[in-house]
Structure 1
């Protein structure tokens, strides 16, 4: 595995753990050249999960898009990187399970899934993500969402 810092191909595995119900392996590695510790993941390559966008286009599910959205929503919040990683794994697993028959999931279903998980984890992150996902046009829409949050309603 190539070191992300120095580019060396020499490393050793420090720790391996099974993730995502046995469908992925997380490996902690240490570069033998520079000593940097980094994480790699192994997954079984399957037929790609496709996301059906609002306009009907289909594109492959990208774990990194979910991660970017969650990291932005959780920025400066008291949530560990490991919690974020677990959240991403849960979303990916749930999306794959929901799309089992057709290997497709709508972007709306995926967004609702992320919102549901964020609602349980961090209310501020939920509002941040919802404001982008639901494309609020006015301040009143944003205030309405906060009022729904206070009442315990997510949909």
Structure 2
């Protein structure tokens, strides 16, 4: 592992332990050249995933991008970071076990919306506003109304 401070190629693992949700290994490392300490996380990756965008472009699946978009939707909401991490891990596992190398971005978006709907209704609406490309207030009203209607049933 290359040191992020001095770019030296040799680092030593000082401590390894599983994360709280057992989805990854947290490793504490020390650079042999400059002595700086840093933390890395090691996750299991079952398969390489490619995201098929709506305009036909293909790009590699990025867990960090998924995590960032969910975190933005949950910003200033009473949602613990660990719950976001579990949600992202769950979605990534579902994608990896689908058996498909290429996943349409719409499928990922629907999975995120399903997960957010059960987590936080405001985060759900925030994500939906970007995912469904709301253009004006009436789009929000219609979507929020459908959520309120579903909650009454």
How far apart are 1:151 and its partner, in Å? 1.8
Aligned mates of 1:6, 1:75 — CA distance in 2: 34
| Equivalent residue for 1:12, pick from 4, 11, 14 | 14
Alpha carbons 1:16, 1:26 under 8 Å: kept: yes
Q: What does 1:4-153 align with in structure 2 at a 5 Å threshold?
A: 9-17=11-19, 18-19=22-23, 25-29=24-28, 38-44=39-45, 46=47, 48-98=48-98, 100=99, 102-152=100-150
Number of aligned positions between the proteins: 144
TM-score, normalised via structure 1 length: 0.78
Deviation string 1:73-121 (CA, Å, 9 cap, x unpaired) is 11111112111111110011112223x1x31111111100000000001
How far apart are 1:11 and its partner, in Å? 4.5
Alpha carbons 2:13, 2:27 under 8 Å: kept: no
Alpha carbons 2:28, 2:37 under 8 Å: kept: no
Secondary structure of 2:15's match? strand
**Between Structure 1 and Structure 2, whose CA radius of gyration is higher?**
2
Alpha carbons 2:50, 2:60 under 8 Å: kept: yes
Aligned mates of 1:142, 1:11 — CA distance in 2: 50
- What stretches of structure 1 of length at least 5 have no aligned partner? 20-24
Secondary structure of 1:27's match? strand
What's the Cα RMSD here?
Answer: 2.5
Aligned mates of 2:5, 2:77 — CA distance in 1: 27
Aligned mates of 2:58, 2:37 — CA distance in 1: 42
Aligned mates of 1:12, 1:151 — CA distance in 2: 54
